[in-house]
Amino acid sequence: MPIPTRPIPTRSFAHVRLTVTDIDRSRAFYDDVFGLPVASEVPADADDATREQLAFLYGGVVHALGDQLLGLRPVSADSFDEDRTGLDHVSFAVDSRADLDAAAAMLDERGIAHGGVKDIGAGAILDFRDPDGIALELFARAG
């Protein structure tokens, strides 16, 4: 196979999968906060063949997020640290600053701590964490 002479022509992320310590707790959080439809999971009544076919889910769930996917995969107890090699945070796009303000109010209603809406020049952000402490952000472009 020849070595490519130019960068690989990617156009977007296909999916991101986050590892979580308690799949039920994390799924409830992501369902409540983001309300994303489930794209793939092992049905509770799945037979062995179906479980084998869906083994790539590792007991987790995959949600649809526009054209991309957001997966949650259970792992043994660990803690998130954005200062370790790996993931710093996940940023979700929203349409406007008003969406950020509404999201901040919704997080307040649910008792989810956040950093408030901040203008950063290129837009505005709202940062918060999931139950495992994974840093999440909502971002609205300026203008």
What CATH number should be reported for the domain holding residue 61?
3.10.180.10
What's the confidence (pLDDT) of residue 4? 62
Beta bridge partners of 137: 91, 127
What's the confidence (pLDDT) of residue 3? 65
Segment 12-50, tens digit of pLDDT: 888 999 999 999 999 999 999 999 999 999 999 999 999
Residue 8 confidence (pLDDT) above 90: no
Residue 103 confidence (pLDDT) above 90: yes
Evaluate whether residue 121 is within a structural domain. yes
Short-list 110, 61, 65, 112, CA closest to 90: 65
Domain check: are 119 and 143 in the same one? yes
CB atoms within 10 A of CB 4: 8
Whole-angstrom Cα Rg for the chain? 17
Taking CA 62 as the corner, what is the angle to CA 12 and CA 21, rounded to the nearest 5 degrees? 115
Evaluate whether residue 30 is within a structural domain. yes
What's the confidence (pLDDT) of residue 7? 82
Residue 140 confidence (pLDDT) above 80: yes
Residue 92 confidence (pLDDT) above 80: yes
Evaluate whether residue 2 is within a structural domain. no
What's the confidence (pLDDT) of residue 78? 78
Evaluate whether residue 106 is within a structural domain. yes
Segment 51-81, tens digit of pLDDT: 999 999 999 999 999 999 999 999 977 788 8
Domain check: are 52 and 96 in the same one? no
Residue 82 confidence (pLDDT) above 90: no
Evaluate whether residue 124 is within a structural domain. yes
Q: Show the domain range for 135.
A: 89-143
Report the number of distinct structural domains present in the chain.
2
Evaluate whether residue 5 is within a structural domain. no
pTM over 0.85: yes
- The arithmetic mean of pLDDT across residues 93-118, rounded, is 96
Evaluate whether residue 82 is within a structural domain. no
Domain check: are 72 and 94 in the same one? no
- The amino acid at residue 48 is D
CA-CA distance, 134 to 20, in Å (whole number)? Answer: 9
